[in-house]
């Protein structure tokens, strides 16, 4: 008799998610009842004009905000029902973040910048040094461990930021305009890096971008308009 496969919930599951800011006539409906499912291992680009709801969605996915109505489930857990401290634990243990501004500490080495999330976790010194060095190697910066941000190019700084985001071995990497401050050549390098992390390391990537050529690296693109998903398309990744 064959075994019955165990049900595995999606990594991200929005069910009629609404987000309203303000009250009465001043109320802004940033999300208007969004249904959305993202499975483990996907590389998703989120696009849309200003005010479309894409940033609000990313804030909810990243546990930085909660729905006004509806439910957001992360691996089957109702995030809206968690306390602030519990959401912080979820962020720290399962999510990694990359931003348009690299947010690196100046006059602090690449290795020390990458170590930061592990310091917050209380990881022993020797282990965090080893893991930070491994993360820098993974993003192609072996040999640059002791350079501070001022000694690195924009593309290298973003690689350090990505290493910092993955040093905790997250299940989900949330990238907000990761190529927004880079030229075309460096942007391509970063997108190829993210694609490699997705394919080889199995890290789920959700990326907000306004650049359609960068979105083509993803295997799925979700367009938001007026607080709703306007369309959701799949493609073979570049």
Give the whole-angstrom CA distance, residue 72 versus residue 173: 17
pLDDT for 3 equals 59
Which among 166, 154, 150 has a CA at the least distance from the CA of 107? 150
- At 8 the pLDDT is 81
Read off the pLDDT band of 6 (50, 70, 90).
low
Q: 171-224, pLDDT tens digit by residue?
A: 999 999 999 999 999 999 999 999 999 999 999 999 999 999 999 999 999 999
* pLDDT tens per residue, range 103-116: 999 999 999 999 99
**pLDDT for 22-41, tens place per residue?**
999 899 999 999 999 999 99
Q: If you search the block for the tokens 């080889």, which residue do you land on?
A: 200
- pLDDT of 77: 96
Give the tokens for residue 214. 């960068």
pLDDT above 90 (res 81): yes
CA dihedral over 228, 232, 237, 238, signed as positive or negative: negative
Backbone conformation region of residue 70, classed left if phi is above 0, alpha if psi is from -120 to 50, else beta: left
**Domain-wise residue ranges, the chain:** 40-63+93-234
Instruction: Give 62-78 pLDDT, tens digit per residue.
Output: 999 999 999 999 999 99
89-137: pLDDT as tens digits: 999 999 999 998 999 999 999 999 999 999 988 999 999 999 999 999 9
CATH class name, domain 40-63+93-234:
alpha beta
User: How far from 26 is each of 8, 22, 23, 49, CA to CA, in Å?
Assistant: 41, 6, 6, 21
Grade residue 2 by pLDDT with cuts at 50, 70 and 90.
low
Q: Residue 5 has what pLDDT?
A: 56
Give pTM, 2 decimals. Answer: 0.92
Residue pair 73/107 in contact (Cβ under 8 Å)? The answer is: no
- pLDDT greater than 80 at residue 238: no
Shortest CA distance to 92 belongs to which of 4, 27, 35, 171? 171
Residues 230, 103: Cα–Cα separation, whole Å: 32
Least Cα distance to 48 among 231, 223, 233, 230 occurs for 223
Q: Residue 10 in 3-state DSSP?
A: coil
């Amino acid at each position: 008799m064959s075994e019955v496969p165990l049900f595995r919930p999606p990594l991200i599951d929005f069910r009629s998610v609404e987000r309203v800011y303000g009250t009465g006539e001043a109320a802004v409906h940033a999300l208007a009842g969004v249904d959305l499912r993202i499975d483990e291992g996907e590389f998703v680009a989120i696009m849309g004009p200003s005010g479309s709801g894409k940033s609000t969605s990313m804030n909810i996915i990243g546990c930085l905000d909660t729905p006004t109505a509806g439910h957001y489930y992360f691996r089957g857990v109702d995030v809206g029902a968690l306390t602030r401290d519990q959401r912080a634990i979820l962020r720290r243990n399962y999510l990694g973040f990359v931003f348009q501004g690299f947010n690196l500490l100046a006059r602090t080495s690449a290795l020390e910048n990458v170590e930061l999330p592990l310091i917050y976790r209380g990881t022993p010194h020797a282990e965090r040094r080893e893991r930070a060095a491994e993360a820098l190697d993974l993003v192609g910066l072996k040999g640059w461990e002791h350079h501070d941000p001022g000694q690195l190019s924009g593309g290298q700084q973003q690689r350090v930021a990505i290493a910092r985001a993955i040093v905790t071995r997250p299940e989900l990497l949330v990238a907000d305009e990761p190529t927004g401050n880079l030229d075309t050549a460096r942007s391509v390098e970063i997108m190829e890096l993210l694609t490699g992390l997705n394919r080889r390391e199995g890290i789920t990537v959700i990326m907000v971008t306004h650049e359609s050529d960068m979105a083509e690296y993803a295997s799925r693109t979700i367009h938001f308009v007026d607080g709703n998903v306007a369309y959701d398309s799949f493609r073979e990744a570049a």
